[in-house]
Structure 1
Amino acid sequence: MRSYTDGHIKIHPLGGILLAIGLSLGGCAQVSVPMGSNNVATPTVLTGSIPSASDVAYSDVDEEDRSIIAGHLDTLGATLADGQAATGVALPWLNSVSGNSGTVTGIDTSVLSATGCLTFRTTANTIAGIKLYDGTACRDITRKFAVTALTVSEA
């Protein structure tokens, strides 16, 4: 006598055999995904996204350039502590390793005392050409400036 009351389900022997054959043949199936193309005229795009102005700025002006820009803003920060405004100030910068150079201008210190950040514009003469960038630099915990945002400017 059975101890449960849900009913008895029988599996037909032929159904079990068909199920076993189907599962074993499933491993023989091939699914191929193209990993690339040798066709140079119409290559396969594997990954990608819509490039933004910040992507271009990141590839053109690298971390070393940004730290040089921030260092020049730090030297300006000493005069800003004395209460002098940054209007009309032009800070030239040069990365002697990469050869990139530019000039930081348009420094806006209106929210510096409230947020610890300032905005600026800089040119960058890189291997990609000369472009104008809008940037933001904020003070970190050591009170040094760090470039936190940089985008290509629509001049």
Structure 2
Amino acid sequence: MAIARKKWTDFAAKASIQPALFEAPEQPRRRRPGTCKKPSIPERDILSQILGGLLLHPLVAHIERINVMAGRLCGKDGKPLSRFMRSCKKGRVDLDGFSVTGKVIAIEVKRPSTRNNLTDEQRAYLDQVKRAGGLAGVATSVEEAFAIVEGRV
């Protein structure tokens, strides 16, 4: 007497032998259209992309990140001293450097949604660089930063 060979469909049709290891959580409720926030890229990520691109650009001799820090100094006992320190003047841009032709490069990096939110000090600094013959502007992407450096803005 020959034993009938099983097909793969015989195994697929049977219920699982092992019970579920855990109960699946309830699916989250779907939000109404238009209630979710649109994803936004942080400014630090845009800044690092622009800095990386400008370091490789042939017209850029030197470019660096300017970090404006401000705060009170603390003593050894941890108590704040009365002296308030700032590393740069107000309005200093994010990226500062110079081109191979000797022009100053000043680029303020912003997210696309906050492109026009410059402080008066930042706007004055960018205008001052432009009046002196430098390359200055606001960039929200690597392409815009290249346009500033190449003088297309």
For the aligned pair, the TM-score class normalised by the smaller chain equals under 0.3
Give the structure with higher Rg (CA).
1
**Structure number with higher strand proportion:** 1
Q: Which has the higher contact order (CA 8 A, sep 6+)?
A: 2
User: TM-score scaled to structure 2, two decimals?
Assistant: 0.21
